[in-house]
Amino acid sequence: MTRAYLERISRVEPEVRAIITVTDELALKRAQKADKLIASGGDAGPLIGIPVLIKDVMCTKGVRTTCGSKMLENFVPIYDATVVEKLNDSGAVLLGKANMDEFAMGSSTENSSLFPTHNPWDLSRVPGGSSGGSAAAVAAGETVYALGSDTGGSIRQPAGFCSVVGLKPTYGLVSRYGLVAFASSLDQIGPLTQDVIDCALVMNAIAGYDRRDATSVPYDTPDYTRSLVADIKGLRLGIPREYFVVGMPAGVARAMKTAISKLEELGAEVDWEVSLPHTPCALAVYYIIAPSEASANLARYDGVKYGFSYQAESMWEAMEKTRESGFGAEVKRRIMLGTYALSAGYYDAYYLKAQKVRTLIRREFGRAFEKYDALITPTSPTVPFKVGEKVDDPLQMYSSDVCTMPVNIAGLPAISIPAGFVDGLPVGLQIIGKPFSEETILKIAYAYEQATGWHKRKPNI
130 assigned to active site = yes
Measure the CA–CA gap between 408 and 229, rounded to whole angstroms: 27
Question: Where does 29-142 show beta strands of DSSP type E?
Answer: 51-55, 93-98
Task: Specify whether 261 is catalytic.
Answer: no
pLDDT of residue 245: 81
- Give the integer Cα–Cα distance in Å for 308 and 50: 34
Q: Which of 153, 192, 197 shows the shortest CA–CA distance to 402?
A: 153
Known catalytic residue at 275? no
Closest CA to 87 of 68, 112, 63, 105: 63
Per-residue pLDDT in tens (0 to 9) along the chain, 461 residues: 999 999 999 999 999 999 999 999 999 999 999 999 999 987 789 999 999 999 999 999 999 999 999 999 999 999 999 999 999 999 999 999 999 999 999 999 999 999 999 999 999 999 999 999 999 999 999 999 999 999 999 999 999 999 999 999 999 999 999 999 999 999 999 999 999 999 999 999 999 999 999 999 999 999 999 999 999 999 999 999 999 987 799 999 999 999 999 999 999 999 999 999 999 999 999 999 999 999 999 999 999 888 999 988 898 899 999 999 999 999 999 999 999 999 988 999 999 999 999 999 999 999 999 999 999 999 999 999 999 999 888 888 888 899 999 999 999 999 999 999 999 999 999 999 999 999 999 999 999 999 999 999 999 99
- H or E stretch at 258: helix 250-265
pLDDT at 156 (0 to 100): 98
Set 69, 108, 130, 131: catalytic member: 130
- State residue 246's pLDDT score: 73
Asked: is 2-235+373-456 a CATH 3.90.1300.10 domain? The reply is yes
Amino acid making up residue 245: V
Contacts of 332 (CB under 8 A, 6+ apart): 323
Q: What is the pLDDT of residue 33?
A: 96
In the chain, residues under CATH classification 3.90.1300.10 are 2-235+373-456
Query: Considering 55, 168, 434, 443, which one is annotated as catalytic?
Result: 55
| Marked catalytic residue, from 107, 154, 400, 416 | 154
| Number of neighbours of residue 305 by Cβ within 10 angstroms | 8
User: Do the Cβ atoms of 117 and 135 come closer than 8 Å?
Assistant: no
pLDDT number for residue 392 = 86
